[in-house]
Structure 1
Amino acid sequence: MPFGGKLNSENRWVKWSEIIPWDDLAVGYYTTMNDRLGRPGKDARMVIGALIIKHELTLSDEETVLQIQENPYLQYFIGFSSYKDEPPFVPSLFVDIRKRMGQEVFSSFEQVILEKVGSSRKTGAEPVTNKGKLLVDATVAEQAIRYPTDLSLLNEAREISEHLIEELYALSDYSRKLRTYRRKARKLYLNLAKNKKLGVKLRRRGLREQLPFLRRNLKHISCLLDHLGSTPFLLEYKLQRKSWIIQHLYNQQDGIYRSKQRRCDDRIVSISQPHVRPIVRGKARKSTEFGATINVSMTDGLAFVDHLSWDAFNESKDLKQQVEEYRRRYGYYPEVVLGDQLYGTRENRRYLKANGIRFGGKALGRPAKQTTENTDRLKQIKAQRIQDSRERIPIKGKFGQGKNGYRLNYIRARLQKTSEAWINSIFQVMNLKVLWEKLDKKNKKTLFSEWRLLVMDDGARPLWKRNHFCSLLSIF
């Protein structure tokens, strides 16, 4: 430290840095990099440590860099040998890091955590038929987008089209400016947007008013492009991409208006993030969510993302893959699979029965009629079902931990690939916390056994050793 003193060895970042297997995680991170092309990359511990700090403290990219610059404990955590009053890297590097970290990197991280916990498959070990419990469930990782409505999307698309017309008009030799009627369109939009609730008639009236303005602007853009000819790179890529998106958005909204329906396939709900789709979940709080659907499996507190998709899917079709992934990770099938009734399809039940796995859910078909002979058996089945539903609670708690503690319900990345890396990083940080708790608990048990040997004996040990380990009692 330049101003004297030393770090506290009991600080959480110091203790956590000693438990995380940095070298093993670095091997998986460096697999995506080429040591012969480009500039030398940043140290793996610095990069992985910065990602852990970002999601552990739920900070933005800029705030994460500032916190590392100001906090000596965070600098020690990412591997600095001394305190430096300068940023470790520019905040925009986080975007490149998230682009680089694909599913292979996170799979290698998962394997490292399993090995450190001691739950990974061991070569040469005796085969085990069935062991452990597999918890499965799905949720939505919501994106940080404005709540979409048809009118707001059309208004935003119209404003983008007007900006495109201005850019193309500046490049052309037109003598007069093209009409866009932007003031009239804006006034009509605000007259409806100020209403608290829009009925069906008002919503259709708004679509009928806004669609012609956007259609006219798109025709102007086509005419300007035809007039300018085949000159390459008329607009930068961002503007070209927006022009493609608003044209597709217009086709969708025009089809919805003409068909008098409220849905369409691959519906765009955000112009800046066109990969986001509406996911109808039927929840009491939110009937529709906007983000990626993730199917998660959980065992002994460790949660793994088995399937991530931006389109809605039936999570029950992933059960076989999740069971096989469990076998790949641990070397044996689970003893029981705990999931909601959606996973208990006939096909899944046949697959689980063939592999000697019990499904912790209600049996299909009509309930058995209670008689004097089967009363005890039916009571046991009911008690087992209640117990299975209680043991399935931890995976719901894991979703709550991710959404409330790590903002899994507010993904602020804008690109599809970076959003997926953001979601996977949150689960990896939560798994590292589980690793920390397990190893810390194991170390405490070791210290407690040593304390009993040195303190709880007949006084044969030296007094200074007994007093030293008596001071460790405060840890427990």
Structure 2
Amino acid sequence: MKGTLPNQNQRNLFRPILKDIINPNHELIILSKRIDWQYFEDSFSPLYSHTGQPGIPIRTMVGLLLLKRIYNLGDETVMVQWVQNPYYQYFCGEAEFQWEPPCDPSDMVHFRKRIGEEGAEKILEVSIHTRKDEIRSTNDVLIDTTAQEKNISYPTDAKLLIKVIKRCNKIAKEQGIDQRQNYKRTMKKLLLKQRFAHHPKRKKEATAALRKLRTIAGRLVWELERKLSEDALKQYQEILKNCNKIVVQKRNDKNKIYSLHEPETACIAKGKAHKKFEFGSKVSFAVVPGVNIIVGIKNFNGNPNDTSTLEPALENIEKISKIKFKNAIVDRGYKGKKMVRGTCIVTPRPPSSRQPYSKDTMRKKCRSRAAVEPVIGHTKHGNRMIRNYLKGIVGNSVNANLAAAGYNFKALLRRIKEHILWTLIFLGSKYKIPEKLIYKLT
């Protein structure tokens, strides 16, 4: 059942309301008035039942998700900050200062699952709508892709085979199966032999240990397939299928499994000197040049070619921002297409017999594409996209959309703060207010 918030203007006889103790010119207060909270109420209300105990109010949950992304906090740390900060509480719709967290951190997990990918896209849509006047001033959009890394350890054959052995032992214990041998002691000895496996003096021993680990893993998987009941086989069908694939996969195979708990993880070669491979999913960014607003973000599972991501990315831009851009400026990785969904694809090309004006215009457009790189970097490091902790394919998309929304709102907060500062400086010069007092007011 959907929960309700108190009226923020309703006064209490015994306790002061938040409006009386906070600065009305604080950037979070101004931002809370610009966001259409009723849109979230109308969109997410059908996801709740009409019976049972009232849940956490929708504005509180959406506000917590936004604060987490804007200030780069975790599910637990945002609760700690919320109790200490009256501006966080007012932003989430509270009328009076609260001494306890609004919910358990696990409730944020349940709310993300409730709204899903569509709900995360609606939050991003609102972040774009708050700055729609700035977006309409241009016909261009910058598009580029990046890797969104999953929260997994660097996959090696030995690591994966050890996980298969441990998972098989766990399933056997849950189902009460009497194993011939669990290989716990043998596994530790073989893992020690894998240390410094590339050293010439240890390579032969390490290769033999890896071969033995593969044999043991395959033996335990096949033993489970023989001894499990039909109902249990159906229950663990997907896990056993992935375990079998890990046991038999070779170095140059396609569609390999790099993580047992995240089998959809793909290997993306980015060519970076410090990190040759990244394991996760590919994400397409769409940024408006000049104002640097993210107007579209699309997650792709696997490692598709950049050119094949153009059409879904442009479709996503039109769906979320409700704007059709004339030009999409991309890098040389998007070769092969000049027009997609009525949008002209602009890529750097060698000089030709064009007029000088046209040549300079194209050069400026292509140079502006570099602005998308710092936007991607700030979204990753400042809005919790550097490592994706959300589970599954849906978690990839939800994490990307919420990170983009956090980036847009953070940029808007910065603009609000700058506007307040310049307004006070103007008034200070007009009415001769000391500069120290101006900076204290901000």
TM-score calculated relative to the size of structure 1: 0.75
Q: Which residue of 2 aligns with 1:275?
A: 264
**Matched position secondary structure for 2:105:** coil
Q: Does 1:407 align with 2:409?
A: no
Q: How many residues align?
A: 423
Residues 69, 325 of structure 1: alpha-carbon distance in 2 compared, 3 angstrom cutoff: closer
Residues 224, 27 of structure 1: alpha-carbon distance in 2 compared, 3 angstrom cutoff: same
Please give the alpha-carbon distance, in whole angstroms, between the structure 1 residues aligned to 2:241 and 2:319. 46
Residues 385, 323 of structure 1: alpha-carbon distance in 2 compared, 3 angstrom cutoff: same
Q: Which residue of 2 aligns with 1:20?
A: 35
Q: Which residue of 2 aligns with 1:371?
A: none
2:58 to 35, 39, 44: 44
Map 1:361-372 to 2 at 5 A. Answer: 361-363=348-350, 368=352
User: What amino acid is aligned across from residue 112 of structure 2 in structure 1?
Assistant: R
Contact 1:293–1:310 (CA<8 Å) still a contact in 2? yes
What is the RMSD of the two structures over their aligned residues, measured on CA atoms? 3.9
**Displacement after TM superposition at 1:390 (Å):** 2.9
User: What amino acid is aligned across from residue 285 of structure 2 in structure 1?
Assistant: V
User: What amino acid is aligned across from residue 161 of structure 1 in structure 2?
Assistant: C
Q: Runs of 5+ in structure 2 lacking a partner?
A: 1-14
Please give the alpha-carbon distance, in whole angstroms, between the structure 2 residues aligned to 1:212 and 1:340. 46
**Matched position secondary structure for 2:146:** strand
Residues 291, 202 of structure 1: alpha-carbon distance in 2 compared, 3 angstrom cutoff: farther
**Displacement after TM superposition at 1:107 (Å):** 3.5
Q: Percent identical across equivalent pairs?
A: 22
Map 1:68-467 to 2 at 5 A. Answer: 68-119=82-133, 131-169=138-176, 178-195=180-197, 204-225=207-228, 229-230=229-230, 232=231, 240-241=235-236, 244-256=238-250, 262-299=251-288, 300-323=291-314, 326=317, 333-345=324-336, 348-351=337-340, 355=342, 357=344, 359-363=346-350, 368=352, 383-384=360-361, 386-437=363-414
Residues 343, 108 of structure 1: alpha-carbon distance in 2 compared, 3 angstrom cutoff: same
Contact 1:360–1:388 (CA<8 Å) still a contact in 2? no
Q: Does 1:60 align with 2:60?
A: no
**Displacement after TM superposition at 1:95 (Å):** 1.2
Contact 1:114–1:120 (CA<8 Å) still a contact in 2? no
Please give the alpha-carbon distance, in whole angstroms, between the structure 2 residues aligned to 1:470 and 1:18. 28
Residues 282, 270 of structure 1: alpha-carbon distance in 2 compared, 3 angstrom cutoff: same
Contact 1:165–1:217 (CA<8 Å) still a contact in 2? no
User: What amino acid is aligned across from residue 430 of structure 1 in structure 2?
Assistant: Y
Contact 2:149–2:386 (CA<8 Å) still a contact in 1? yes
Q: Which residue of 2 aligns with 1:461?
A: none
Rg larger in 1 or in 2? 1
Please give the alpha-carbon distance, in whole angstroms, between the structure 2 residues aligned to 1:381 and 1:24. 44
**Displacement after TM superposition at 1:316 (Å):** 1.6
Q: Runs of 5+ in structure 1 lacking a partner?
A: 123-129, 257-261, 369-373, 456-465
**Displacement after TM superposition at 1:359 (Å):** 1.5
Q: Which residue of 1 aligns with 2:7?
A: none
**Displacement after TM superposition at 1:401 (Å):** 0.3
**Displacement after TM superposition at 1:88 (Å):** 0.7
**Matched position secondary structure for 2:286:** strand
